[in-house]
Amino acid sequence: MAKILRVNMTDLTAKYEDPPEKYALWGGRGFTTAVTYHEVLPTCHPLGPLNKLVIAPGWVSGTAAPTSGRTSFGGKSPLTGTIKESNAGGLASQKIARLGLKGIIVEGLPKEPGKWWTLKITKDGATFLPADDIAGKGMYEVCKILAERHGKVAIIGIGPAGEMKLTNAGICVNDTENTAGRYAGRGGLGAVMGSKGLKAIVIDDTGGPGVPIANKELFDQGRKKMADSSREHAITKKDGALNSYGTAVLVNILNEAGGFPTRNFSSGRFELAAQISGEAINAGVKERGGEGRVGHPCHPGCIIQCSNIWPKPDGSFHVSVQEYESVWSLGADCGIGNLDDTGELIWLCNDIGLDTIEAGNTIAIAMEGGLLKFGDAEGAKKLLAEVRTGSPLGRIIGNGGVFTARALGVTRVPAVKGQCMPAYEPRVVKGIGITYATSTMGADHTSGYTIAPEILAVGGKVDPFAVSKADLSQAFQATTAFIDASGYCLFNAFHILDIPSGMEGMVESVAGALGTDWKVEHIAKVGMEILKMERAFNEAAGFTKADDRLPDFMTYEKLPPHNTVFDVSNEELDKVYG
Ligand code: SF4
């Protein structure tokens, strides 16, 4: 049976435990949520000794299931004060799972503040290595140094932002090129890792026991259905939309729909959108050649391969990955329409250890507050670089959009429960607005991606302007919680929503791995169990239905070009969790 590795940063001990009954069945987000729900005091300070950082591979991570290498990170969020799960691709999940680990629970605060550690995990156990020599360094250099020392390992780490315990600090996972390309960005969990004096975790799965499969026949049947479905759908197949253009294929689509938030959510259209689109990324990569790539996997075994490597004009590596949320937040939302500028801004976030969605929103708010002008790419780079210095201004920016808005007296703040919104305008796409408002995580598109039927006609077709969508949002939130527990990348949703055998394949592969009798009808039920724990944690932390609301400016400020407001009633919002 897979073990739990419990790490105490106060006395520097690490012990292996058999999972108790209450955790036995959970993986990924299910595990991080269950541990946070059962072990973390909901009212605790997120950066104090009572919070924990929980790390977990999904149910089928580390197996031959396709596109299933997500690692979940969880705990109480310093950004939102809610429970939080944020997951990332990269190398960590498969290696943790193949070492026979169900999850890692990091607890306690260091006895000596200012001292840093790397936790190294191998088949022989976990050891603490001094990390003072890599403290203060950016994640690109940290990945390089740790790979030189430890070989082909998975690396989980924090940049200077996490060390400073800034509430927009993310947790980095190295990718297939061993660069700092993948982030569990949302919710400030990098600050939780920083509070514990943990600069990095190095995972070497050489000689590990692998992942047990309870019913191999069912598992193989399920993973094959998943792979076939993924290879058939226009969005996920080879040379399909994601493989060719990456997630930034959405730029032109959302811009055309008038739902592409621009200049701090003051318009739904950006006149330079085409210049930062997936099509422009594809063309730029082909034109520059060299190290540039599209159709790049963030971990071995991903068959969708939505990632890319953006090259500098001379073809050398610049950054991975220019994806939709990042080119939007650091591009359109700041009035910046150039891929070399967004590339550099993403690189800075990856190196300093910041979530790109929150960072872009923060710069846009600073632009609205008069600190710099919309479209000022060089000013934006200087502002991000300031975070690394630890100056008072840098610390304001590094604490995210709501904090920065307070410092500058800005009232138009596109955030829910302290977390800024992703790249979809809720005044145009109302279902995603319901998800932003009611998600257990603050404004988060991945909590319940209703964009699929509202904009992409995936999983049905729904009018984006319709306002009665509590049921739709709830169904997406529950299904997503199941996918986040499985380890499957959420982009699998595009094919399994349209191809019934794909959905069957997902649940059969999970049931085969775990030895359960789950069928398609269990997906929402199991997902809802996760959501109920999350809602209960948030309620105990003091959140009420009054927190399940969008910022008021969106209810009265008409958004061009459609000149619509967010007019979903509070009653409809409250129906999601009735
Ligand atoms: S589809 Fe994209 S984000 Fe998902 S695992 Fe593959 S490369 Fe990573």
**Position 181 confidence tier, pLDDT thresholds 50, 70, 90:** very high
Of 411, 269, 413, the closest CA to residue 328 belongs to 269
Which of 307, 326, 446 to mutate for ligand 1's pocket (most ligand atoms within 8 Å of CB)? 307
With vertex at residue 51, the alpha carbon angle to CA 161 and CA 442, rounded to the nearest 5 degrees, is 70
Report d(CA 556, CA 123) in Å as an integer. 58
Q: Ligand 1 pocket by C-beta < 6 Å: which residues?
A: 67, 69, 89, 297-299, 302, 304-307, 489, 491
List Cβ neighbours of 74 (8 Å cut-off, separation of 6 or more): 29, 31, 32, 33, 35, 36, 53, 54, 55, 56, 83, 84, 85, 86, 189
Average pLDDT, rounded, for the chain: 98
Which ligand 1 atom sits closest to the C-alpha of 492?
Answer: 1
Q: Which helix (H) or strand (E) holds 533?
A: helix 522-540
Query: What is the token pair recorded at 60?
Result: 């089928």
Please name the residue whose Cα sits nearest to atom 8 of ligand 1: 298
Please name the residue whose Cα sits nearest to atom 2 of ligand 1: 306
pLDDT digits (tens, 9 = 90+) for 99-140: 999 999 999 999 998 999 999 999 999 999 999 999 999 999
Q: How far is the CA of 374 from the centre of ligand 1 (A)?
A: 31
Q: How far is the CA of 201 from the centre of ligand 1 (A)?
A: 22
Residue for token digits 């490597």? Answer: 309
Residue for token digits 């946070």? Answer: 36
Across 465-542, the runs of DSSP E, i.e. the strands, are none
Which of 71, 299, 321, 491 to mutate for ligand 1's pocket (most ligand atoms within 8 Å of CB)? 491
- Quote the pLDDT of residue 1: 81
pLDDT digits (tens, 9 = 90+) for 163-172: 999 999 999 9
pLDDT digits (tens, 9 = 90+) for 296-334: 999 999 999 999 999 999 999 999 999 999 999 999 999
Q: How far is the CA of 75 from the centre of ligand 1 (A)?
A: 24
Q: How far is the CA of 150 from the centre of ligand 1 (A)?
A: 25
